[in-house]
Amino acid sequence: MKAAIVGMPGSGRKTLMTALSGDPSAIAAGRKSTVTIRVPDLRIDALSEVFRPKKTTWATVEAVLDDSPMENLGKRLQAARGLDVIVLVAPAFGLGADGLDAALQELERAVEEMVLADQMVVEKRLEGLRKTGDKGIEAQLLARLQSTLEDGEFLSKLQLDELEEKLITPYNFLTRKPLVAALNIDEEELENPVWAETDARIRQRGIEPVVLCARLEAEVAALAPEEQLEFLQAVGLSAPASHRLVQGIYRLMELISFFTVGEDEVRAWPVRANSPAPVAAGKIHSDIRRGFIRAEVVAYEHFMECGSLAAARRIGRLRTEGKEYVVQDGDIINFLFNV
């Protein structure tokens, strides 16, 4: 999964990337930079303690910053079309309500730019279809999308069937992508109660807010791991920016994690909530989904109570599930398949 870090010069987007990487030299001025962020999950740490595998693989999110010269926010957003998530760094410098108003204005400007960019894509395609006299399913769907965008709404609010989803996927519409608002505030404003009041206002637009001080977070990231938690607690934060940003992306995309375990590897796999077992199997390999027979499943909590897969099987906690089984967060799964 790839997240575009966007924002205008002065917003703190490069400082945030430094905080995510912990290494200022990892950010390439004037070019594209990519930082891999590990998804924090104490469960995979505990499973690795049990299995002592040769390899432990956490779920990850790649943060991508394109620092190429671009004259406006619209161009920066357009450059994010090929990625999965957009993280808008909105500067909120100033005291309380003033900072909040500045951030909300920047956020609204981004929303308008995204809607306008998608309108242009829809109108161009519709014009092409009108010239050929095509009034089929795609033309009807695009007219529906156009109406939604003209109302200033995100296309993500539309309920689409499987065929419609397939038709619009190649367009990479910006307003179909999850949007996280990273509100970059001054350090002395961290404990201002006004920020606790922003969630509802921002979430009304289907946007996930994350309040942070990028400069402070960059300082924290430069510390030794054992010093970071102490520093964060001293300034009233529960986790570094990378953790809170990833958790925000997971909430917005309704992602959960399941695990595969063994002596060779313990691994976390992200999957959409309410996914059936074969879809989860496809995250590992398309052949496993295609040849899915059944899944052996035990919940993480039950496994930790039992202490081993053998013990979980003995008392019936490790069970067999078929194609209709909906994967739950924390499931430990072994897929059986035949191709």
- Specify whether the CB–CB gap between 183 and 209 falls below 8 A: yes
Rounded to whole angstroms, how far apart are CA atoms 217 and 25? 16
Predicted TM-score (pTM) of this structure: 0.85
Closest among 71, 99, 111, 310 to 187, alpha carbons compared = 99
- Tokens 């920016």 map to which residue? 241
Local structure of 337: helix, strand or coil? strand
| Sign, CA torsion 117/2/19/43 | positive
pLDDT tier for residue 125 given thresholds of 50, 70 and 90: very high
Would the pLDDT of 282 be above 90? Answer: yes
Domain boundary, last residue among 121, 151, 176: 176
Give the tens place of pLDDT for each residue, 144-186. Answer: 999 999 998 899 888 888 899 899 899 999 999 999 999 998 8
| Overall number of domains in the chain | 3
Domain assignment present for residue 128? The answer is yes
- Tell me whether strands 265-272 and 255-260 are parallel, antiparallel or unpaired: antiparallel
Residue 134 DSSP label: -
Residues 87 and 106 in one domain: no
Domain boundary among 176, 205, 226: 176
Residue 254, classed as helix, strand or coil, is: coil
pLDDT in tens, 200-222: 778 877 888 888 899 998 988 88
109 and 42: one domain? no
pLDDT of residue 241: 83
The CATH number linked to 246 is 3.40.50.300
Asked, for residue 263, whether it belongs to a domain, the answer is no
Residues 76 and 6 in one domain: yes
Q: What is the pLDDT of residue 76?
A: 85
DSSP 326: B
DSSP string for residues in 184-229: E--GGGTT-GGGGGHHHHHHTTTEEEEEE-HHHHHHHHTS-HHHHH
The Cα 330–Cα 181 span in angstroms is: 28
Regarding whether 93 and 185 lie in a shared domain, the answer is yes
| Domain region containing 201 | 2-97+177-253
CA distance 51 to 49: 6
State the CATH number of the domain containing residue 140: 1.10.150.300
Same domain (yes/no): 154, 198: no
pLDDT at residue 225 in the model: 78
Do 183 and 88 share a domain, yes or no? yes
**In 10 A of CB 321, how many CB atoms?**
16
Q: Does the structure show a pLDDT above 80 at 195?
A: no
Look-up of token digits 């909040």: 100
Q: Is residue 161 part of a domain?
A: yes
Residues 187 and 218 in one domain: yes
In a domain, residue 269? The reply is: no
**Number of helices followed by number of strands (H, E) in the chain:** 14, 12
pLDDT tier, 244 (very low <50, low <70, confident <90, very high otherwise): confident
259 in a structural domain:
no
Whether residues 163 and 290 share a domain: the answer is no
Position 149 in a domain: yes
13 and 85 both lie in a single domain: yes
Tell me the C-alpha distance between 332 and 268, whole Å: 9
Please answer whether residues 65 and 33 qualify as being in contact, where contact means their C-beta atoms are separated by less than 8 angstroms. Answer: yes
Domain-terminating residue out of 124, 144, 176 = 176
The answer to whether position 258 is within a domain reads no
Residue 268 included in any domain: no
Q: Which residue has the higher pLDDT, 319 or 162?
A: 319
Residues 165 and 121 in one domain: yes
Q: How far apart are CA 310 and CA 9, in angstroms?
A: 56
